[in-house]
Amino acid sequence: MEGSVAIRPDKFGLSDEQALRKHIGFFKTVENIGVGNTYICYGDKGNAAIVFLTDDVFRIKIYQGADVDLSTTVGVLPQVSEVEVKTLENESQFIFATTTIRLIVDKSNCSLSIEDHEGHLIARQNPVGWNARGEHSADYDMPAESHFYGFGEKTGFLDKRGERYTNWNTDVYAPHVPEIEAIYQSIPLLIHMFEERSYGLFLDNPGRSDFDMRSAETTFSISCATGAYDIYFINGPGLKDVVSRYTALTGRIDLPPKWAIGYHQSRYSYMNQQEVLELARTFRTKQIPCDVIYLDIHYMDEYRVFTFDPVRFPDPEGMMEELKSLGIRIIPIVDPGVKKDPKYTVYQEGVRENHFIKKLEGDIFLGEVWPGISAFPDFTEDRTSEWWGEQHRYYTELGIQGIWNDMNEPALFNESKTMDLDAMHGNNGKPQTHEELHNLYGMLMSKATYEGLSRQLDGQRPFVLTRAGYAGIQRYAAVWTGDNRSFWEHMALAMPMVLNMGLSGIPFAGPDIGGFGHNATGELLARWTQMGAFFPYCRNHSAIGTIRQEPWSFGEKTEEIVRNYIGLRYRFMPHLYQLFRGAATDGLPIVRPLLLEYPSDPNVTNLCDQFLLGENILIAPVYRPDTDHRSVYLPAGTWIDYWTGEALVGGRPILAHAPLEIMPMYIRAGAIIAEGPLKQSADDASDESITFHIYGASASTGFESAYTLYEDDGVSFDYRQGGYSELSLNVVGGAGTVEIQWRYNEARGFKPERKLLQFSFRRPDFTVGRVEGLQRLTAEQLVAGAEGWTHNPSTDELLIQVSDQAVGDKLVVSTA
Ligand code: MIG
């Protein structure tokens, strides 16, 4: 028998009347409210606050009522507006102009057009509308040749045209497939590119939002379920301009400790102290470089955070001591759920001091995660974040410098997979529901962790890894892409995912190498490690119950390949570190889609099975089984095969031969790449020498190349006070000579212990007659540390070695 509930009033959702969208309506007047460059456009049914932050970035927030709240989420850094805005009014339009753009507001309906000063239309926003539930949305023009990038961590290919995504941090154990619209991270940034011109739209709203590039033919739309329509327009015209401006708004990475850029080994879980130590020793005896081992949830005492299981890990101090002597660090996992246990001090304190999220009615919100019923700290309250940060002394006092934040979407074991939407956040005195702030939770947890570690590490750089995040997460944590599987498809998926994360301000990212769930094979691990060795974040991790995935788990051949490629990462470390330094200063990604460097090449708009490391290294992984050839697209220029030294003309696809031990890699002719000696851990500073490989040098055509090598102690913040070294290198070729010139920065606040510099020319287009001031020696003499030069006929490599003098010097190589 049916009850009345069968005809419940809301059965059919919003009524037509409620669904009817309202708009600001006609534009009445505009007022400069005298704070920065803030203008209020008063409309018929609502208002828009327009804030010009720079010539190329402005914010528009739609609001009702008399007062405008111009605070932002923690995702946006405080901005100082110094731009000069000119305003102009005619009968139908109100116009704001900066030196680069004009924002035209249509008075009849408050729609917006953004143009450059040549009158090219850059973007058009139709009137923002809202329904009776306060859900806002707006449509934007989408020309036929549009491409879309950004969106943070999403499935699918690089170009998001035809896709639709939701921003709602979600623990998706499976499946990671194209139709999953929301996973762990939410970066509400859309980059629209057409005719080589790019602009970004960043919606600063931490509730649920949607970007829809699928449903309409000539427009895309952005909407949010709660909160304000608060959007930033970020001008290009270059894609790099957009990324750099977006990261000026939401922040850039801090230079990580060098060890965090090394190879990391993880497993859910290394079950006890003996196993961890055995693992560390195995890396060292097998001479596979490694910097970090992870402790997953089993290290804890019944999953209570800030504890060690007394049986499995009876002597954490002893364990840490031996690991330290091996040069390996520990990163323990920390989840947000605090076990409800009246005998557990963290829980007691949290309750007593009012740190846990509550329902409005006053009860602590309790939900189930690993420890059973748990409470959740309210990171929106600064005092709670500080309390949480302080808990980490438990680890830092043991010498731990890195923390892994998991389950911080937050993920719960219930139907909604997260916290009740009506749980309340204190939000430093401006209470809001979880529904409104959901996407901030993970980032605020990592922020609390990062800040706590920073206070405790006595001037050493902390490292935080996170699964969940919001725009700006890059300031606090590196991001791994969650629970992928040991599928070839997921290896391929990692490329566009990490590349778009880089375009979304998150350069320090990577997937679980070898795949988390399901079972890897030796071949998959070999291929995945080849690729992963060149991702900014490099960790092998696998799930409980799956086949073991450590480098030696699949026999000698796999082990050898894995060792070699991890080793290659360590040899590239000086260059990689330089790229991290770049990301910290200009916000540009470390791994890049070809599109970023070759925006006018129509072949690369959706190319995402190969990528660039920085500007000059092209990486083309093999991501299918039983495959020993693959097509590689070489962009314009000449590219040198890293393995053979062969020069190849670009602007075309080639077929690369790639047997299992080879991952195709190419270096742009004209590039210089620094390689260091092979090491077992990244902060081993005992380098004898550094080698600058000069690619495609010529003594006949006008050759010119430059490089900067940035170095510091790799662990402290001294570099902020000048404690670094910068060597600039210039190589100029022509008229029968090649000149090499180098010089360190004047106030060189850091000096590596190194003794020698090497310059290497592989298959040069000239024969060396002499090197001014240096003798021709044998390879053995160079190895023994003598200054001089040698030529290896079998590899056709000219190698010059000089002592690493304090200031700099110059060398001339002549053909005669
Ligand atoms: O799915 O802590 O993504 O890396 O090993 C269970 C156990 C919770 C999810 C993480 C994964 C980690 C696992 N965690």
Task: Summarize pLDDT for 50-85 with one digit per residue, the tens.
Answer: 999 999 999 999 998 889 999 999 999 999 988 999
Q: Is the CB of 199 under 6 A from ligand 1?
A: no
pLDDT tens digits along 626-642: 999 999 999 999 999 99
Active site residue 420: no
Nearest partner of 516 among 477, 542, 550, 555, judged by Cα: 542
**746 pLDDT higher than 90:** no
Separate counts of helices (H) and strands (E) for the chain = 15, 54
pLDDT tens digits along 384-398: 999 999 999 999 999
Q: For the chain, which domains are there?
A: 22-250 (2.60.40.1760), 685-815 (2.60.40.1180)
In ligand 1, the atom with minimum distance to the C-alpha of 482 is: 3
333 CA from centroid of ligand 1 (Å): 9
357-371, 495-509, 718-732, 763-777: least confidently modelled range: 763-777
Q: Is the CB of 297 under 6 A from ligand 1?
A: yes
Mean pLDDT (the chain) is 96
Active site residue 10: no
Beta-carbon contacts of 384 under 8 Å, excluding residues fewer than 6 positions away, are: 355, 377, 378, 426, 448
Q: Is the CB of 813 under 6 A from ligand 1?
A: no
Is the whole model's pTM more than 0.85, yes or no? Answer: yes
405 CA from centroid of ligand 1 (Å): 10
pLDDT at 17: 67
Q: What single string gives the DSSP state of each residue in 605-654?
A: TT--SSEEETTTEEE----STT--EEEEEE-SSEEEETTT--EEE-SEEE
Q: Which residue among 210, 406, 451, 712 is the active-site one?
A: 406
Distance of alpha carbon 417 from alpha carbon 717, whole angstroms: 39
373 CA from centroid of ligand 1 (Å): 18
**780: how many CB neighbours lie within 10 A of its CB?**
9
254 CA from centroid of ligand 1 (Å): 26
**14 pLDDT higher than 90:** no
Q: Are strands 27-32 and 22-23 parallel, antiparallel or unpaired?
A: unpaired
In ligand 1, the atom with minimum distance to the C-alpha of 266 is: 5
Active site residue 406: yes
Q: Which residue among 409, 451, 641, 687 is the active-site one?
A: 409
Q: For residue 577, give the H/E element and its range.
A: helix 573-586
Q: Is the CB of 296 under 6 A from ligand 1?
A: yes
In ligand 1, the atom with minimum distance to the C-alpha of 483 is: 3
pLDDT at 26: 86
**687 pLDDT higher than 90:** no
pLDDT at 805: 84
**751: how many CB neighbours lie within 10 A of its CB?**
11
For ligand 1, pick from 271, 483, 485, 537 the residue to mutate: most ligand atoms within 8 Å of CB.
483
Going along 483-614, which residue ranges are E strands? 509-510, 512-513, 539-540, 591-592, 611-613
For ligand 1, pick from 265, 271, 296, 303 the residue to mutate: most ligand atoms within 8 Å of CB.
296
Distant-in-sequence contacts of 608-611, Cβ < 8 A, 24+ apart: 608/157, 608/158, 608/495, 608/496, 608/499, 609/492, 609/495, 610/495, 611/495, 611/499
pLDDT tens digits along 145-160: 999 999 999 999 999 9
14-23, 42-51, 690-699: least confidently modelled range: 14-23
**316 pLDDT higher than 90:** yes
